[in-house]
Structure 1
Amino acid sequence: MRLPGRLSAAIEVLADIEARRRPVSEALKGWGINNRFAGAGDRAAIGNLVYDALRKRASHAHVMGSDDPRALVLAVAVRDWGEDPQALNAGFEGDTHAPAPLTDEEIARFGRGDDTLAATGNATRADVPEWLEASLERGIGSDWVTQLRAMTGRPPLDLRVNLLKSGRERVAKSLKRFEPLETAIAPNGLRMPAGGRDARTPNVTTDEAYLKGWFEVQDEGSQIVSALAGAAPGEQVLDLCAGAGGKTLATAAAMGNTGQIFAYDSDRARLAPIYERLKRNGVRNAQVRAPEEGALDDLAGRMDRVLIDAPCTGTGTWRRRPDTKWKLTPDLLAQRTGEQAALLDEAVRFVKLGGTLVYVTCSILPEENVDQIAAFRPRHPEFSVIDAAGLWATQLEGPVAALSDAQGGLLLTPLSTGTDGFYFCALRRNA
């Protein structure tokens, strides 16, 4: 397919998402099934157009004066991919798969787009829903617009080397055709930076090294908070929201397959993939606890470390799932914060005297992060916050890159750490 056909396909996919309220991945998969003539390169390019459009939906719509699928895709082609409007029109001529030619008004809007964008509101320039403005400014600070603009770019592909089976140099050699780089902060990570325009993301999960369990796909931010959690060999650890097991696997490697990790999740479906992943990674010190009544009763007061990777709005992953940015509502945020408070209170009974409670989210909103810690501490005064800067110095190299908050937690962002957005706070039980 040529670019005009790819643009038309992206417009079709965005229209399908809007009409049927489908997740992006489902809409793209559906388009691919219905258009089997499209090659892998075509599907990647169309996906890039769709995701780029959603990442900057507000600013693109402002420039174009419309947020319909055609306006958004054309905006991506010109503003993000560097296409010239007149050259696009020339390419559309005689192509039966091309969109309708750009109008004089559309071409004029591109000419004055940056000037009008500079004069518009912060939410539009940051490409976020307006109702989140006050929350983001409170949680991130006065440069929140700059921070959020960094979240509109494409994410890299990050890998965590599984030290139970391999080493970073060995994995890098196995994947040298993808030209991986060492991660800047995480000690055992590799990164493939995102490409521009129609670049394809490497399919590393078909590589022999992945099938052997030498590495896992894991954002560097997730690797960083896993390292900050500080699990040590021989400890007893409860992963209370284990899900598919990403942090369980990282913790097992940090513990050198010693001690015991109890992986639990209240949702049986989320927990299902963990079994195969544990086997492939060679993890022998993890015990999966299914969500049944009394499943964790025997762990009360025994855990050296309890990790809460809390269910959240996922605002820190907006680069990867930009459609969720525009679906988020105050009601959903309230639901998540209620779940998080309940999980923090539930975790208390498992932490032994002198043990550590680790709270993590993939959110950048203060309601899910610093506010939760501020509310938790009066309810449980026996817990005190552990200095996160000290943990960083112990577990990671270099100065603290993340943003600090009033409760002693850390916020990772694409601009500050080059990662997805994550929040981390650790508390010690003193009495």
Structure 2
Amino acid sequence: MTPNARLSAAMEVLDDLLARRRPAADALKDWGLSHRFAGSKDRAAIATLVYDALRRRASAAWIMGERGEAPETGRALVLGMLALQRGLAVDAISAMCDGSRFAPAPLSEDERARLAHPDLADAPAHVQGDYPEWIEGELAAVFGEELVAEARALSERAPLDIRVNTLLANREEVQNALAFLSPVETPLAPHGLRIGLGDDGRGPALQSEPEFLKGFFEIQDEGSQLAALLAAPGEKAQVVDLCAGAGGKTLALSAAMENAGQIYATDSDTRRLAPIHERLARAGVRNVQIRSPRGKADAVEDLDGRADLVLVDAPCTGTGTWRRNPDAKWRLRPGSLAQRKGEQETVLDRAARLVKPGGRIVYVTCSVLPAENDEAVSAFLGRHAGFSPVPAADLLAQAGLGALSSHVRETRHGLQMSPSRTGVDGFYVAALKKTDARYAMT
């Protein structure tokens, strides 16, 4: 397919997902099935166009005149994105829309005029920052005057980070082994490497590299690496990873504990645990016991009151991962936020029973919404009298990450990482210490 034909295809996919309000992945899959002549490179390029257009959905529609009640079109989103996201001049865009076979129709006079001066100066904040207007209050509460800058950072492409598995290798060894990919050390995480993306926004197929197959590294955003380090488990600690999922933070905890102590990894959804078995074996992990729930039985009931650390990597809206999932921001609804808040309450209450006196709950979300972060912790503290938050400065010091203090926002109960200030996905971390052996739910 020609570049022009790929533009037409992206517009078609976007029209489909806008009309049917469906996930981008589903629309892309259906397009591929009905256009089997398109090769893998074509499909990848079309997907990149679609996701880049979704990153700039509000601002692209604004500069193309699709405002208020006017329906958005795939054409407007792609054209606006080419000007805003990729910085193409109007003549370059016009050359790609020449009306030839499979190419988009030529630009109208109005489109040319708008693309010649893609100005957002008079646009409201939610357009400049490309986020749903209904969630502005939540975002403003955490970002304040930096709202638009942080929202724009959440609309950029995410980097490709890996975490070196220190049980089997060190960062220098892996960096040398992957020298052909020009990896650089992550700015903040001590065991991370960052690998450049291609012009299409995609990274190399790292999972086929010998070092990955040998367990020398895992693909993990630098923010996720830092969140695991902030949990600061002792080498001989008894740890429960209550929402282990595929095991990314479980693996990081095991490396931090040098394969000592004991980690119990569980999740309310057994299906999410499926990948963890292979990952643990590949990484050479020996101190993790997987507890898969069976029916309604509690897989960790025997651990109540025994855990030094309970990691709650809570289910959330994922607003902190919009760089990786631009489609998700436009499908987020108030009802989804309410559902996640209920799930967070349930898992935090379960964690409270697991931790022993003097132990800690470390609460992590990949969200930037106070409703899921500080407010969730405040509600927990209101229900549980025997817990107190660990100050952010102490949290950083205990993890040996004091230098991180200037890169995060200290909140009422924890700390918030973000793309603009920290250079990572939007992770929130808070630690809650069980201070009273007589603790009871109130």
Give the stretch that moved more between structures: 284-293 or 382-391: 382-391
Residue 249 (structure 1) shift: 0.7
Please name the residue that 2:440 is paired with: none
For structure 1, list consecutive stretches of 5 or more residues without a partner in the other structure.
none
What's the counterpart of residue 175 of structure 2?
172
Find the aligned partners of 2:22 and 2:285 in 1 and give their Cα distance.
Answer: 36
Q: 2:266 aligns with which of 260, 264, 267?
A: 264
Report deviation, 1:20. 4.1
In structure 2, the residue corresponding to 1:152 is in which secondary structure? coil
Q: 2: CA distance between counterparts of 1:12 and 1:180?
A: 36
- Tell me how far apart the structure 2 counterparts of residues 91 and 246 of structure 1 sit (CA, whole Å): 42
Counterpart residue number, 2:388: 384
Equivalent position SS for 1:100: coil
Q: Which moved more, 1:165-174 or 1:301-310?
A: 165-174
Q: Which structure 2 residue ranges, 5 or more long, are not aligned?
A: 67-71, 437-442
Partner residue in 2 for 1:79: 84
What does residue 226 of structure 1 align with?
A: 228
Supply the distance in 2 between the matched residues of 1:142 and 1:89 (Cα, whole angstroms): 37
The change in CA–CA distance for 1:33 and 1:210 in structure 2 (over 3 A counts) is farther
Candidates 93, 99, 106, aligned match of 2:104? 99
Aligned to 2:411: 405
With over 3 angstroms needed to count, the CA separation of the structure-2 counterparts of 1:118 and 1:172, relative to structure 1, is: same
1:32 to partner: Cα distance: 3.6
Contact kept? 2:79, 2:93, Cα under 8 Å? no
* The one of 282, 285, 289 aligned to 1:283: 285
Q: CA deviation at 1:156?
A: 0.4
Alignment correspondent of 1:305: 309
Distance 1:121 1:100, change over 3 A: same
Partner AA of 2:90 in structure 1: P
Q: How does 1:293-372 map to 2 (within 5 A)?
A: 293-372=297-376
Report whether the alignment pairs 1:61 with 2:66. no
Q: Give the match for residue 206 of structure 2.
A: 204
Counterpart contact for 1:155–1:194, Cα < 8 Å: no
CA contact (8 A) 1:155 1:319 kept: yes
Matched residues in 1 for 2:162 and 2:116: separation? 41
The 1-side partners of 2:377 and 2:92 are apart by: 54
Contact 1:187-1:396 within 8 A present in 2 as well: no
Runs of 4 or more above 4 Å deviation? none
Distance 2:58 2:38 in 1: 30
TM, length-normalised to structure 1: 0.95
Code of the residue aligned with 2:8 in structure 1: it is: S
2:193 is the counterpart of 1:187: no
Give the conservation status (yes or no) of the 8 Å contact 1:205–1:211. Answer: yes
Deviations 1:307-356 (A, max 9, x none): 00000000001111111101111111011111111211111111001101
Per the alignment, residue 11 of structure 1 pairs with 11
- Residues in 1 aligned to 2:312 and 2:201: alpha-carbon distance in whole angstroms: 36
Percent identity of the aligned residues? 52
Instruction: Report how many aligned residue pairs link the two structures.
Output: 427
Query: SS of the residue aligned with 2:202?
Result: coil
1:161 alignment counterpart = 164
TM-score by length of 2: 0.93
Match of 1:422 in 2: 427
Mark the CA change 1:148 to 1:90 in structure 2 (over 3 Å): closer, same or farther. Answer: closer
Structure 1: distance between partners of 2:218 and 2:390: 29
How far off is 1:94 after superposition? 6.5
CA contact (8 A) 1:45 1:199 kept: no
Q: Secondary structure at the match of 1:166?
A: coil
SS in structure 2 opposite 1:164?
Answer: coil
d(CA) in 2 for partners of 1:143, 1:91? 36
Q: Over aligned residue pairs, what C-alpha RMSD do you find?
A: 1.7
The match for 2:75 is 70
